[in-house]
Amino acid sequence: MPGLYALLSWDVLPLKSSTVKACANGYSLSITAHLTYTNPHKEPVEGIFIYPLEESEVVAGFEAAVGSRRVTFQLQNRHRAQDCCLQCSPSPGRLRRCAG
């Protein structure tokens, strides 16, 4: 089930409001969703967003806003990402980052 979950308890965080826009172009579909969740807990909660995909579906980019923070992801096809990650050198205490 898609949605935002509290990481420690796996409780579903309530969806307060949503707006979804979609644009189809041939085999391509672009979806923009503004989802607002509420935290029913008194303390801040770490969450994980789950959006299951079918085997033939691909996500090319994702952006999330939490408060004043924005997190953006740009995804590559699996083969290019695997090639890139093989060239990464792990550094202790640091995330792996590809030069390409």
86: three-class secondary structure by DSSP: helix
Token pair of 30 as six digits: 């672009």
The count of structural domains within the chain is 1
Domain extent at residue 13: 3-84
pLDDT digit string (tens) for 18-49? Answer: 999 999 988 888 888 889 999 998 999 888 88
Residue 96 lies in a domain: no
pTM summary value:
0.62
Examine residue 99 and state whether it is found in any structural domain, yes or no.
Answer: no
Compute CA distances 80 → 14, 46, 77, 83, 87, whole Å: 37, 31, 6, 5, 11
Q: How far apart are CA 30 and CA 86, in angstroms?
A: 30
Q: What is the pLDDT of residue 65?
A: 82
Residue 79: pLDDT band (50, 70, 90) is low
- Does some domain include residue 97? no
**SS3 of 70, please?**
strand
